[in-house]
Amino acid sequence: MQELIDRVAAATGLPQEKAERALGIVLNLLQTQGNPNKVQELFDKLPGAAELARRQGGDGAGRGGGGLLGMLAGGMMGGPLAAVSKLTAAGLSMDQIKALGTTTLDYAKEKAGSQLVKDVAGSIPGLSGYV
């Protein structure tokens, strides 16, 4: 995971700890909203991804979470919208969020293959158009 965190930091201009937090939010989105079998297959090819998603990504914004973000996560595109809300609350600009997404997708394709990344993204409403 450190290689990906380094790439995210370089692409976004974020300090390491903020890049790690942002990446954890994205991975948590995949973990909580994606097809569990496909996400597990992807995370198996990205050692440390599941741990980072649990450690940095969770705050009740996933399925069944509380508060406004939890309500958003229940609807169409709710997971991605909740993740964007969490990323902006963490201080990322929209340009940094785009760089984070692109860098993460490119890395995942490199390590796990384009088809698996498409399968995972396709299982999350609102993400399939980005792969």
| Annotated domain spans of the chain | 2-124
Mean of all residue pLDDT scores within the chain: 85
Cα–Cα distance, 67 to 65 (Å, whole number): 7
Could you tell me the two tokens for 81? Answer: 């919208």
Residue 107 has pLDDT above 90, yes or no: yes
Residue 33 has pLDDT above 70, yes or no: yes
**Predicted pLDDT at 61:** 40
Average pLDDT over residues 92-110: 96
> 2-124 adopts what CATH topology?
Globin-like (1.10.490)
Could you tell me the two tokens for 5? Answer: 């965190």
Q: At which residue do the structure tokens 């399925």 appear? A: 63
**Predicted pLDDT at 65:** 42
pTM of the model: 0.82
